Structure 1
Amino acid sequence: MRIAIPHSLERDEARRRLREKTSQAALKADGMATVTTEFVDDDHLKMAVGAMGYTVDCAVEITDSELVVDVDIPASLGFAKRMIEGLIRDKSAKFLT
């Protein structure tokens, strides 16, 4: 699934905020999930979120006008696709605030 989250920040500011907030992602999961993050380069982040026996891999790209999140949702979670998309939109937007 590909999700675009628009932003109006300068790219450098979007990078700074994303780096700052993703370092806190595991703490914010509050023990409900495991979150690992790794910046591949300045504009690309890999994330893995594990919860309830599932691991969902994500790739995030920072562009001049949006964050583009590619999510690999296991077929067994297809029923929760809309809920997962809503969570990603909400959490990704908060990364940039």
Structure 2
Amino acid sequence: MSAPLVVSIPHRLGREEAVRRLKTGLGRAAASIPVMQVEEERWSGDTMNFRIRALGQVASGQVDVSEDHVKVEVVLPWLLQRFAEMAQATIKKRGQLLLTKDEGK
């Protein structure tokens, strides 16, 4: 098995607000990526375990929400590892949008 892809996204929202935004915004963020679908999203406190399907392959991971950052770890199957750099950039960009965007805008 390969090492997980890890992305850390800083924020200034506090743990509760970050969790709230992630819970309401992840579905919308995933829907905007046509080759990806979320198969499982399971929250336990401030941690979410997930499984996604992209290009016929399944990847799994975990999101840990802290007071000042969110850590995303994703284990990619070997066929998707060639897209790891692109996935890392996309996760960071979408995460920053969810965690910094003003609510009313």
Q: TM-score range by the shorter chain?
A: 0.7 to 0.9
> Which residue among 16, 20, 23 is the counterpart of 1:12?
16
How far does residue 22 in structure 1 lie from its aligned partner after superposition? 2.1
- Aligned partner of 2:28: which letter? Q
What's the counterpart of residue 60 of structure 1? 63
Q: Which moves more between the two structures, 10-19 or 73-82? A: 73-82
Q: Distance in 2 between matches of 1:63 and 1:73?
A: 24
Conserved? CA contact 1:35–1:50, under 8 Å: yes
TM-score if structure 2 supplies the norm length?
0.77
Unaligned runs of 5+ in 2: none
What's the counterpart of residue 89 of structure 2? 86
Q: Distance in 2 between matches of 1:36 and 1:76?
A: 18
TM-score if structure 1 supplies the norm length?
0.82
Q: Which moves more between the two structures, 58-67 or 33-42? A: 33-42
Q: How many residues are paired up?
A: 96
Counterparts of 1:27-66 in structure 2, within 5 Å, are: 27-29=31-33, 31-66=34-69
- Aligned partner of 1:70: which letter? E
Q: Which moves more between the two structures, 34-43 or 58-67? A: 34-43
- Aligned partner of 2:68: which letter? S
Q: Distance in 2 between matches of 1:25 and 1:35?
A: 10
SS in 2 for 1:75: coil
Unaligned runs of 5+ in 1: none
